[in-house]
């Protein structure tokens, strides 16, 4: 948690989220900070940076862009990629749209919604829209990035469990979510969030 939240947000106002912060940005940051309570500095900084990047800087969970026809084609067992649908656990017609991507890093597919439901004790299979609630999305992000839900790799493969991370470590950590896509850019965000967390005395 932050010992000095004001210092954290002052630092953000002078950098990534400045010069003013919207209520949504503050609430999104706080949801992530609450979910990451007790987590190491570098892990928390990288979670914040990931959310910042994946949500186009809004710090609010997002739904994958596309309509029913797109989701059916991409993820449905009756669509054009049945093997992808099977891998995602989408076994029923309509699953492609029902379990499309939602969240900070996006949760996609019936099997992943079921995994998150079991981990969090929230029925995301019956209510997949709950993955768009910032508190739930932030908890999904933490568990997913800790346990390697997204790519099979977790925080501990790349980041120190005490003290700050380097730019190189943050760059390598993109493999937790999506290979090396925009890795250097997201590392720069992580360094800024890390500095803000240090200013706020994250512990």
Taking the CA atoms of the chain, what radius of gyration do you get in angstroms? 17
Binned at pLDDT 50, 70 and 90, residue 130 comes out as very high
H helices present in the chain, as ranges: 5-13, 23-35, 41-54, 68-75, 82-87, 95-98, 110-120, 134-147, 167-172, 183-199
Domain-wise residue ranges, the chain:
5-61+133-199, 63-132
Q: For 152-185, what is each residue's pLDDT tens digit? A: 999 999 999 999 999 999 999 999 999 888 999 9
pLDDT at residue 126 tops 90: yes
- Residue 112 Cα distances to 18, 80, 150, 155, angstroms: 35, 20, 9, 19
pLDDT at residue 3 tops 90: yes
Cis status, amide bond into 121, omega within 30 of 0:
no
**Residue corresponding to tokens 């720069």:** 188
Joined tokens for residue 172? 């390598």
pLDDT at residue 62 tops 90: yes
What percent of the chain is modeled with pLDDT above 90? Answer: 94
Binned at pLDDT 50, 70 and 90, residue 24 comes out as very high
């Amino acid at each position: 948690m932050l010992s000095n939240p004001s210092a954290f947000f002052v630092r953000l106002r002078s950098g990534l989220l400045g010069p003013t912060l919207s209520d949504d940005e503050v609430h999104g940051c706080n949801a992530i900070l609450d979910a990451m309570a007790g987590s190491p500095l570098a892990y928390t900084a990288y979670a914040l940076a990931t959310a910042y990047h994946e949500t186009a800087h809004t710090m609010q969970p997002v739904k994958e862009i596309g309509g029913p026809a797109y989701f059916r084609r991409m993820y449905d067992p009756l669509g054009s990629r049945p093997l992808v649908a099977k891998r995602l656990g989408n076994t029923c017609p309509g699953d492609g749209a029902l379990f499309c991507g939602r969240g900070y890093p996006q949760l996609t597919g019936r099997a992943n919604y079921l995994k998150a439901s079991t981990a969090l004790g929230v029925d995301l299979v019956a209510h997949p829209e709950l993955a768009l609630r910032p508190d739930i999305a932030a908890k999904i992000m933490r568990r997913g990035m800790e346990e390697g839900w997204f790519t099979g790799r977790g925080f501990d493969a790349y980041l120190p469990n005490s003290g700050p991370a380097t730019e190189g470590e943050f760059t390598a950590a993109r493999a937790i979510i999506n290979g090396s896509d925009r890795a250097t850019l997201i590392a720069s965000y992580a360094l800024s969030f890390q500095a803000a967390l240090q200013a706020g005395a994250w512990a």
